[in-house]
Amino acid sequence: MRVALVIVLVTAPTLPGCVIDRSPIAAEGASDGGADDRDTGQDTHPDAASADDAELLDAFATLDAWDEPDAHAHGDAYVLPDAFVPGDAPAGCAAESCNRRDDDCDGLVDESGCAVGSEADCAAHQLGDHVYLVCPQLLRWTASRDGCAGVGYALVTIDSAEENTAIIDWIPGDSWIGLNDRNEEDRFVWLDGTEPTFTSWADGEPNNFFGEDCTLLRTTKEWNDSNCDDGHTFVCEAEILPR
C-alpha cells in the first residue's frame, strides 16, 4: 500500500486533468525534506519549508500556550496544588495565614501579619514555642483583649525576665499586657485568673492612681497600672500550633 501511495503522489502531477490533492497528508509526502513516519507517510518533523508545515507549527504553538501555566507571568501569588510541591518542601504547604501555624513551611508563624481591625498590621514574633503579635493600633485595654481573642490569641502573659526583655525589643511604645485588677482591687491577675509569678513593677507602682486597673509594659521594661480606657498599642500571645 505504501508503494502504491508513493506512486500516486509522484505521478499525479503529470496526469492530464488530474486535480492535485492539497490536503495536509497528501501534500507533505517527501517533498519538503522533513522526516516522515514510515507507516503513514505523514511528516512527523514539520518545518517552515511549506505552508502546510507552517500551519502545523502554528497549531503546536497554540497547544504549547495552552499547556504552559502562566500564573507567574502575571505576578499573581501562585499557590501550588497539593499534588505538586517542588524541592524538599514538605507536601501540603500553603499560603501563610493568621492561624498560629507555619502554613508555608518557612519556620515562621503568621509572619504575613494578623488583622486586628481591617489590616494585617499586627507583626508576629516568636520566642520558644510561643508566637506574639505586636499591634500598632491604639486601643482601650478591653478592646485590645478582644482584638487578640478575635484572631485566636490572648493579651500577653509575661512569666519571666527573658520574656519581658524580648517583648521590649518589639513594642513601639508603652503597650497593654494581660495583667489587671479589674475584679478585685490590688489583686492583679492574668486573663486566666492566675496571679503573676514574675513582676516588673516600676518604683511606686502599682499605685491605683484615680482607679487604675490595667497594666502597661513600658519600653523601659517596667510595669505601671494605668487607666483601662486609655488608648495604647498592645501585645497578643499564643502557643504555636503544629502544622
Q: How many angstroms separate the CA atoms of 172 and 156, rounded?
A: 16
Percentages (nearest 5) of helix, strand, coil residues in the chain: 25, 20, 60
End-to-end Cα separation, the chain, in angstroms: 65
User: Would you count residue 208 as binding Ca ion (CB under 5 A)?
Assistant: yes
**Options 101-109, 115-123, 144-152, 157-165: segment touching Ca ion (CB under 5 A):** 101-109
Site string for Ca ion, 187-206 (x = CB under 5 A): ------------------x-
Among 26, 47, 85, 101, binds Ca ion (CB under 5 A): 101
Q: Do 173 and 232 touch, CB atoms closer than 8 A?
A: yes
Among 116, 213, 214, 237, binds Ca ion (CB under 5 A): 213
Number of residues that bind Ca ion (CB under 5 A): 18
Residue 129 Cβ, how far from Ca ion at the closest point, in Å?
Answer: 14
User: Would you count residue 53 as binding Ca ion (CB under 5 A)?
Assistant: no
Q: How many angstroms separate the CA atoms of 62 and 91, rounded?
A: 32
**Options 46-54, 83-91, 156-164, 222-230: segment touching Ca ion (CB under 5 A):** 222-230
Q: Quick one: DSSP state of residue 22?
A: -
Q: 7: buried, middle or exposed (CB in 10 Å: 19+, 13-18, 0-12)?
A: exposed
Looking at beta carbons only, is 55 or 229 nearer to Ca ion?
Answer: 229
DSSP string, 25-65: HHHHTTTT---B-TTT--BSS--TTSHHHHHHHHHHHHHHH
Looking at beta carbons only, is 53 or 213 nearer to Ca ion?
Answer: 213
Looking at beta carbons only, is 9 or 114 nearer to Ca ion?
Answer: 114
User: Would you count residue 102 as binding Ca ion (CB under 5 A)?
Assistant: yes
Given the C-alpha cell 495565614, which residue does it identify?
Answer: 97
Give the interface with Ca ion as residue ranges (CB under 5 A): 96, 99, 101-104, 106, 108, 110, 181, 205, 207-209, 212-213, 224-225
